[in-house]
Amino acid sequence: MNQYPPATLEVEIERLLPGGVGLAHAEGLTLFVSLAAPGDIVRVQFDRLRGKVAFASILEVIKPSPVRVEPPCPYFGRCGGCDFQQLNYETQLQAKVDIIRDCLHRIANIADLPEIAIHPSPNQWQYRARANWQFDPLTRHLGYFEAGSHRVCDVEECAVLVPELQNTLEGLRTHIRNGSFPGAVKNVEAVVGDEGVSLAPPLAGFETKIVSRRIGDEIYHFSADAFFQVNHELLVPLVHEATRDSRGAVAMDLYCGVGLFTVPIARCFEHVVGVESNPTGARIAQLNLKHAQLENAKIVTARVGEWLDAQSLESEAVDFLLLDPPRAGAENSVIKGILARHPQQISYVSCDPATLARDLKKLLAAGYFLDSVAAFDIFAQTHHVETVARLTATS
Catalytically annotated residues: 351
Q: With beta carbons less than 8 A apart as the criterion, state whether 37 and 13 touch.
A: yes
Q: In this structure, what are the phi and psi dihedrals at residue 198, rounded to the nearest 5 degrees? A: -105, 135
Q: What does DSSP assign to residue 163? A: H
Q: With beta carbons less than 8 A apart as the criterion, state whether 132 and 152 touch.
A: no
Q: With beta carbons less than 8 A apart as the criterion, state whether 193 and 205 touch.
A: no
Helices in 292-327 by DSSP H: which ranges? 304-310
In angstroms, the Cα distances linking 156 to 145, 320, 346 are 14, 45, 43
In angstroms, the Cα distances linking 97 to 78, 152, 172, 317 are 26, 31, 37, 35
User: Whole-angstrom Cα distance, residue 92 to residue 109?
Assistant: 25
How many alpha carbons lie under 13 Å from residue 254 in its C-beta half-sphere?
27
Q: What is the DSSP string of 195-212?
A: TEEEEES-BTTB----EE
Question: 192, exposed or middle or buried, with CB in 10 Å at 0-12, 13-18, 19+?
Answer: buried
End-to-end CA distance of the chain: 65
Q: In this structure, what are the phi and psi dihedrals at residue 58, rounded to the nearest 5 degrees? A: -85, 125
How many other CB atoms sit within 10 Å of the CB of residue 263?
27
Beta-carbon contacts of 240 under 8 Å, excluding residues fewer than 6 positions away, are: none
Nearest to 216 by CA among 234, 197, 231, 191: 234
**Which SS3 state, helix, strand or coil, does residue 353 take?**
helix
